[in-house]
Structure 1
């Protein structure tokens, strides 16, 4: 009969050197943990889902590695040696740390996460999407931080490939073809002006911008959207531009005080509507374009990335249907009937 002491190297044996991590099989630590917890080889085998001879074989390898019997037989099972008792806490902690590492890569808990997601948005996407996204995060992921970045156009693809940004939202025809993307909505330009201006010129809700435009109406041009300027030129209105601004952010303040009009994306018009009494009108021959979410395919399997991607689609993916007020963060009492379809 072979005893546990027979498996130990004799005194002075050269094999009794220091144990190296590369020589260690993770399954041996799992076996040690199970035997220590169960104090019984058979029950440890059931716990691990393996045969009892497999557990006995693993114990033999452990004894050789640690140069100690580790567990000795008793009437009701096995008992740990002093060396095994010292090892037990460290092995249990090591397995727990490894499990935590595996869990971190396999799941994402929005309720407790403090992760920062970096988004790149066009100016109108920022105005239309960000308020609703933040409102949802307040309820679902209160510790998650959103950081929006503004990057040079020639750095757009590099920023996505490097992981500097997690998502880009907008219309970016220069995006690399291997980027993944999802269409959120179809956008189009509309004409917007203060309600008081529309009433002054007796423009009803069915007015369509074509060749007939009130002769005294002046316009704001937004240089970041050359398509809107092209529409002004197409309708013979370029000479009526009173002011040109780089983006849309100052537009509500101007329209609050000045009787101008401008051409802008319909989603932005809806987002700006609560800031003042506005009226919006269709534009003849105005084309549509997709607003997409872009990301790099190497982040497809990242749990946090997948969670935010699903949330963006849940909140904003409406395909060719019209945008609706619920995701534009507009309180019901401020939703202007003038902007309803």
Structure 2
């Protein structure tokens, strides 16, 4: 009895003499493409950078494989047979696809790329770095997309190892030691308040938060930064906290309408300065910490990753160089006075 499955081809059932991919040498396809384009064996050899006998030998192998003359001599060179004409478009397309695959792994063209990079940033890194990075991408890589992800601390290392995120920007002491990183800058906490509040209390630019604090000044606490809360406690200011918020996003709106102060990273203070004419002051005993870019070493050779890495270093690896306005995305007409912190 016959079964429907009996008519299905099985491995090894190819017609006798059928050409298989493993029988092909890539150089043969390149030779075919060159001869078809040049219609001349000598010019094809020059195009390929090989000798004319080598081209003739390759054509001989092609004729055996395809069981067709492929190219026949004419007075001015060679002309393709009907079989060669049918093959030409497919061979050229296959070589183009292969070249595109090779190019993708060897170079990154920012001006034409549509790649998406996924970044994980701490809240202050997102506020301080993202506007400047996007402004630069608008100029250099208008098709590149930046996606910022929020992940739990417990997922941080796994997200980098899996490639779920390309870069993490911030201070992450929990990062695995085998991750690669580069320090972008040294950060420290400062005291910030609306300039109108500083003027009301007659605080000069030389004011330092220590034992002397305006007696009626009230504070915002940012719960995502326990070090800032520790500084408030160290200076006896915890009882003056008027509002506690989870991150810095709402801070400019609060300070625009309310006469409060807060302790925050200096870079964020610089980023917020043009949003409400803020004043910033140093804090006694405020330690510094590194803000770094982290990535997995398996992406070191990826062209796109290397390009973005170099851009991050160019834009933000400023060390102790100031003013920060040189890289923060602050239009010149909105920058705070040079006398600020």
Q: Normalized against structure 2, the TM-score is what?
A: 0.91
Between 1:248-257 and 1:22-31, the stretch displaced more is 248-257
For 1:62, the equivalent position in structure 2 comes to 62
For 1:251, the equivalent position in structure 2 comes to 251
Deviations 1:306-332 (A, max 9, x none): 221121111111022235213221122
Deviations 1:35-66 (A, max 9, x none): 22223323222221122222222112111110
**Contact kept? 2:267, 2:324, Cα under 8 Å:** no
Deviation at 1:339, TM superposition (A): 6.2
What secondary structure sits across from 2:192 in the alignment? strand
Query: In structure 2, how many angstroms separate the alpha carbons of the residues matched to 1:66 and 1:309?
Result: 49
What secondary structure sits across from 1:183 in the alignment? strand
Deviations 1:78-130 (A, max 9, x none): 33222222212221221122112212222222222222111111111111111
For 1:262, the equivalent position in structure 2 comes to 262
**Contact kept? 2:205, 2:340, Cα under 8 Å:** no
For 2:45, the equivalent position in structure 1 comes to 45
Between 1:255-264 and 1:323-332, the stretch displaced more is 323-332
1:80–1:337: structure 2 CA closer, same or farther, 3 Å change rule?
same
Deviation at 1:257, TM superposition (A): 2.1
Question: Are 1:234 and 2:234 counterparts?
Answer: yes
**Contact kept? 1:193, 1:279, Cα under 8 Å:** yes
Deviation at 1:226, TM superposition (A): 0.5
Question: Are 1:170 and 2:160 counterparts?
Answer: no
Between 1:112-121 and 1:66-75, the stretch displaced more is 66-75
CA RMSD after TM alignment: 1.8
Query: In structure 1, how many angstroms separate the alpha carbons of the residues matched to 2:189 and 2:108?
Result: 38
For 1:196, the equivalent position in structure 2 comes to 196
For 2:26, the equivalent position in structure 1 comes to 26
Query: In structure 1, how many angstroms separate the alpha carbons of the residues matched to 2:267 and 2:310?
Result: 21
Deviations 1:276-309 (A, max 9, x none): 1211100111111111111111112222212211
**Contact kept? 1:278, 1:338, Cα under 8 Å:** no
Query: In structure 2, how many angstroms separate the alpha carbons of the residues matched to 1:216 and 1:140?
Result: 49
Query: In structure 1, how many angstroms separate the alpha carbons of the residues matched to 2:85 and 2:176?
Result: 58
Between 1:84-93 and 1:148-157, the stretch displaced more is 84-93
Query: In structure 1, how many angstroms separate the alpha carbons of the residues matched to 2:213 and 2:340?
Result: 22
What secondary structure sits across from 1:105 in the alignment? helix
For 1:336, the equivalent position in structure 2 comes to 336
Deviation at 1:176, TM superposition (A): 1.0
Q: How many residues align?
A: 328
Deviation at 1:191, TM superposition (A): 0.5
Which stretches of structure 1, 4 residues or longer, exceed 6 Å deviation after superposition? none
Query: In structure 1, how many angstroms separate the alpha carbons of the residues matched to 2:111 and 2:132?
Result: 18
Q: Normalized against structure 1, the TM-score is what?
A: 0.91
1:44–1:338: structure 2 CA closer, same or farther, 3 Å change rule?
closer
**Contact kept? 1:279, 1:339, Cα under 8 Å:** no
Query: In structure 2, how many angstroms separate the alpha carbons of the residues matched to 1:310 and 1:207?
Result: 38
Q: Note the residue ranges of structure 2 that are not aligned, 5 or more in a row.
A: 1-13
Deviations 1:1-43 (A, max 9, x none): xxxxxxxxxxxxx996110001111001111112222233232
What secondary structure sits across from 1:156 in the alignment? helix
